[in-house]
Amino acid sequence: MIDDTLELLSTVNRRQVAEMEKAGAFCETALTALRKLKDATPMYGTSELYDLALDYRGEAEKRYYQNLQDSECAKTPAPERLFPKTK
């Protein structure tokens, strides 16, 4: 039962990481395009859009590293006698 739960959490975690990596790649693509535009056309709000893309990338990285840390923590076995055995 516990092994099934851990495997399910691992699968969900991998899915979340894949989505975050996709979001991070999207942000990088947007930043590359906006980097050129923000200096050439600052009056059209490209600087603000560039800053927003930076914020999104930062949040995607935070979630990625949090999930990475959580997945490492899930691999750590629980100490013996943490949960009393029931009869």
pLDDT 10s digits, 19-65: 767 777 888 888 888 898 888 888 889 899 999 999 988 988 888 78
Sign of the alpha-carbon torsion through 30, 33, 36, 38: negative
DSSP state, residue 78: P
Position 28 scores a pLDDT of: 86
Domain range list for the chain: 24-74
CB 34 within 8 A of CB 46: yes
Give this prediction's pTM.
0.62
Query: If you ran DSSP here, which 8-state letter would residue 82 be given?
Result: S
Distance CA 52, CA 84 (A): 50
